[in-house]
Chain A
């Protein structure tokens, strides 16, 4: 560590821009490596399937959306040193709520339903957070209980797939942006789903990261006691992080409803996938490290891997083994890197 920082400090006086770049690279090395991996995988995809183009990109973006929101929510909980096992259950509950709210209503009512669903998500997350703080039971156990509770609540609202989604909401994620605002050539390569993802996450995450709450979240995650002694309202910060997790889960729930046009009271595979993507994205499970960009890139890497395996016409069952092995090896390499940096 000291060996790498000494030359950087020495070059500070000579070329500030160079050292800033070096610092940026050093701080974001994991995320940069993920971008490179994603790029390599895209190149590989085009190589094995020369016809791979804009339509496949759109499919990839739509497939990645619910995973991306689940992962964003999970990242909030993991950054403060917690974990939220109820994230997929919250998605299910918000999804069926949105579908039931929109059933038989006019198109305009969709906005009310979206707002209500997002508020519900915030509320569910707040309940999670308050329970963690007030009961002082480990996060993993509390959110495990809420895994059952929110799933049960979803079953009470809808015991079979049902409800509906406004047409304009469904149109929001289907297809590319096209010739709207940007040139048509660029627009064809820009899936609406990707735009929606970047906007929804950015609206929450960018102001948050610059705010005091964002700083508090990292402080609480890296050392709760030190944060408490420096005057950080630890309990309030933890509740806020879980509330944000609920908000992102609600966005994911809305996506599920938009995707299928109905609400389904069964949990998707998003819990495991969100934990995997968060870890792959460079957010330490010990808390206090990482951001949102890494996990989202990780989601796209994992989804693209799945698409590639399908393109290679590999048996979907074998594909699951390969996907699992990819996840294991990435996590092993990540752990090894972390181990080395701790030793030196």
Chain B
């Protein structure tokens, strides 16, 4: 194993230039943007004229909910964790909002729904932070319980109307000033918040520190469990916001709404350069990762390949991008 590692680091070739490697490692967003532009070019070649304002607007619109779920994933992955409950939590938030809005004002229904999300996050956080259950297991288990609760809840509210409030569809699917998606109103503050949180606050630094060396942070006096609980609550609330936007975009309030977004949200964060082992990464890469996945999805749609081939290609691309990425950024 170590022999192959040495071989790569001393291998002559296009990556042997130390400066270039360092640039790619420190600024992972550069190769990603290059890849994104290359894919867009291929798309334009495949179907000339497809890349226009309208298309860009659509791509961004669909990438936003994914990027918000991937924000939850990025935060948890920085500590070496993962949150597999984002899909169910997002779905639950949207469903609770849509069913409760018949009885109350939207301004109350949304906080109520997000509180439910925060409770799910609290459960995950207690499991991971206090009982030290593996995050993968804990969030899976929470997802299972929340899904069951949602099914029970659905039967209780069966009669009530599930019409989506106009404000939600306006935010999720609407555009203003020509082709600017309204969802950006939610997304830009979230992106700024993520950037500030990770770069400028003590909490953000603690996330990196825990992911880098948990034992050392503990010895340094960090209350691990408090950080983890806050982290998972934050992740769940982000997932909830993503769910609210997604239901506005899809306009179908089903119980499997955001579940298909779980694995892509992991993929977006991983492609964006966040290490699944923790301690390295950031949100800007994740955003590009989410857009990248959306462009790939369009491309496969344009090619009119069968559903099976689409999934195969999707999987191969995640593998290829992360493999290339691992080679570029490998520090040893």
Which of A's residues lie within 8 Å of B, judged by CB? 83, 131, 135-138, 140-142, 144-149, 151-157, 159, 224, 228, 234-235, 272, 275-276, 279, 285, 315, 317-325, 327-328, 331-332, 335-336, 338-339
Contact = CB atoms under 8 A, between A and B. Distances in A.
Given A156-B306, A275-B136, A332-B133, A317 B311 contact: no
B277 A335 contact: no
Assign chain B's interface to a size class. Answer: 35 or more
B276 interface: yes
B323 interface: yes
B38 interface: no
B141 A276 contact: yes
A152 B310 CA distance: 7
Nearest to A286: B134
B131 A339 contact: yes
B202 to A, nearest CB: 27
Contacts of A140: 82, 136, 276
A145 B316 contact: yes
Contacts of A145: 315-316, 318-319, 322
B106 to A, nearest CB: 27
B276 A138 contact: yes
Nearest to B327: A136
Contacts of B131: 332, 335-336, 339
A136 B1 CA distance: 10
A149 B319 CA distance: 10
Contacts of B306: 155-156, 159
A335 B134 CA distance: 9
Nearest to A272: B140
Given A153-B312, A228-B2, A339 B141 contact: no
A319 B152 CA distance: 10
Contact of B148 (A138, A275, A276, A320): A320
Q: Which of A234, A320, A325 has the most CB of B within 10 A?
A: A320
A284 to B, nearest CB: 9
A327 B309 CA distance: 36
Contacts of B314: 148, 152
B148 A318 contact: yes
A339 to B, nearest CB: 6
B330 interface: yes
Contacts of B123: 328
Nearest to B314: A148
B188 interface: no
Nearest to B154: A317
Interface in B272-311: 276-277, 306-311
Nearest first, the 8 A-B pairs at minimum CB distance are: A152-B311, A148-B315, A155-B308, A320-B148, A321-B148, A156-B308, A324-B145, A152-B312
B54 interface: no
Contacts of A228: 1-2
Nearest to A156: B308
Contacts of A321: 145, 148-149, 152
Contacts, number: 148
Interface of B: 1-2, 82, 123, 127, 131-134, 136-138, 140-145, 147-149, 151-152, 154-155, 263, 266-267, 270, 276-277, 306-316, 318-319, 322-323, 326-327, 330
Given A137-B323, A159-B306, A328-B141, A317 B263 contact: no
B134 A138 contact: no
Contact of A149 (B140, B145, B152, B311): B311
Contacts of A151: 311
Contacts of A272: 140, 143-144
Given A152-B313, A331-B138, 4 more contacts: A149-B319, A155-B307, A321-B152, A324-B145
A152 B1 CA distance: 32
A2 B75 CA distance: 40
Given A142-B319, A328-B145, A339-B131, A148 B311 contact: yes
Contacts of B330: 136
Contacts of B142: 324, 328
Contact of B309 (A135, A137, A152, A323): A152
A129 to B, nearest CB: 14
Given A151-B311, A336-B131, A331 B152 contact: no
B20 to A, nearest CB: 20
A275 B131 CA distance: 18
A335 B225 CA distance: 15
Contacts of A279: 134, 137
B216 to A, nearest CB: 17
A142 to B, nearest CB: 6
Nearest to B323: A135
A136 B311 contact: no
A234 B2 CA distance: 10
Contacts of A315: 152, 155
A237 B35 CA distance: 35
A320 B137 contact: no
A324 B120 CA distance: 13
A131 B322 CA distance: 12
B307 A152 contact: yes
Nearest to A336: B131
A275 B311 CA distance: 23
19 contacts: A137-B319, A140-B82, A141-B270, A141-B276, A144-B263, A144-B266, A152-B309, A152-B314, A155-B308, A156-B312, A159-B308, A224-B1, A228-B2, A276-B141, A318-B152, A324-B141, A327-B141, A328-B127, A338-B132
A324 B144 contact: yes
Nearest to A329: B141
Contact of A137 (B2, B147, B322): B322
